[in-house]
Amino acid sequence: MEEQEFQEVWRWVLAVGDSILNIYRSDFEIRDKGGNDPVTEADLYASEFLFEKISKHFPSHGFLSEEKTDTNSRLDKEWVWILDPIDGTREFVKKNDQFALSLGLVRNGDPIWGIIFNPATGEFFSKSKHSFFAKLQAPYATEENFRTLVVESASILHPLQDGKERKQKPILLVSVSEMKEGLFSDPFWSEDFELRAMGSIAYKLGLLSAGFIDIIVSLKPKNEWDICGGISLLDEENFIYFPLKDKPYQFNQKTTLSFGLVAGKKSAVNYLESKIDFHQLSLKVKERW
């Protein structure tokens, strides 16, 4: 994969971001896939748009999307694209801006590159040699926005500087639904962390990659498409990430679920471990949504 190929994918995502935003601002159709799992025309359009682009330009690559029927054909591919066209569809339906498109690329199961893009806010997270963040203005499919991505991709994110002594509580993002269910009701969570609830695990991972927050904890299952794009942006020099009840992440698996998640700046993850043993934390993980 060449740099120009990754930049072409940025263009595709900018274009589909305009379509997602236009649908978001309209009275769009909603369908329930079952189990209070909504899907909208934006999910379906973005999934098909990117599938067609990727299939045409990278015909030897596999593809996994939440909104397309999965097949075993991807399992023996060296390169596989993993997409959630809208992570946080329930927030999208509520006209809440806590959602994001998540696209990850794995090579032999290892996440190597990705994009997290929130069309409602213009926040774009991706990587070139390093992960980067850009704040874009709609409409997104413009040369000005593309040039912004090229310029920002050449810079190193300053928010990742984590060497200064901490004077404030680490910012911990958790799921809105997990917070409502009382999974973070133990006093130490709010006493030792600045605890915030937010929709979309992909969006949270993007914010983490840019250093805007310190740590994410989830105590529920995650599918590969939820987390692949964001995990690919977390380099091992600055971050630690792992599922709470499984082996270390290996993507493009036949079973796409993992259980629980901790992802954060190294200092924040070490701080969390000083507050609760990770084995004890893993016992709190739910196996169903």
Instruction: Give the annotated binding-site residues for Mg(2+).
Output: 66, 84, 86-87, 226
H or E segment and range at residue 260: strand 257-265
H or E segment and range at residue 257: strand 257-265
The stretches of 173-265 forming alpha helices (DSSP H) are 176-180, 187-192, 201-209, 224-231
Instruction: Give the annotated binding-site residues.
Output: 66, 84, 86-87, 226
Q: Where are the beta strands (DSSP E) in 2-150?
A: 30-32, 38-40, 62-65, 79-87, 100-107, 110-118, 123-127, 131-135
> How far is Cα 183 from Cα 178, in angstroms, rounded to an integer?
6
The torsion angle over the Cα atoms of residues 269, 272, 276 and 277, rounded to 10 degrees, is 10
| C-beta of residue 249 within 8 angstroms of C-beta of residue 257 | no
For position 90, what pLDDT does the model report?
93
Who contacts 27 (Cβ-Cβ below 8 Å, separation ≥6)?
none
Amino acid at 191: E
Average confidence (pLDDT) per 10 residues, the chain, 289 residues: 96 98 94 82 97 98 96 96 97 96 98 98 96 97 98 76 66 97 97 97 98 97 98 96 93 97 97 97 92
Map tokens 């009701």 to a residue.
Answer: 185
For position 92, what pLDDT does the model report?
96
| C-beta of residue 261 within 8 angstroms of C-beta of residue 244 | yes
User: pTM for the whole thing?
Assistant: 0.95
CB atoms within 10 A of CB 230: 32
| C-beta of residue 215 within 8 angstroms of C-beta of residue 166 | no
CB atoms within 10 A of CB 36: 9
For position 129, what pLDDT does the model report?
87
For position 162, what pLDDT does the model report?
52
Per the omega criterion (within 30 degrees of 0), is the bond before 139 cis?
yes
For position 157, what pLDDT does the model report?
64
How far from chain centre, in Å, is Cα 192?
Answer: 25
Who contacts 228 (Cβ-Cβ below 8 Å, separation ≥6)?
82, 102, 104, 106, 111, 114, 251
For position 163, what pLDDT does the model report?
47
Contacts 24+ apart (CB under 8 A), 279-287: 281/217, 281/219, 281/244, 282/244, 282/245, 284/183, 284/219, 285/219, 285/220, 285/244, 285/245, 285/259, 285/260, 286/183, 286/219, 286/220, 286/221, 287/221, 287/259
Q: Where are the beta strands (DSSP E) in 119-242?
A: 123-127, 131-135, 171-175, 194-198, 215-223, 239-242
Domains annotated for the chain, with CATH where assigned, are 3-154 (3.30.540.10), 171-284 (3.40.190.80)
For position 289, what pLDDT does the model report?
76
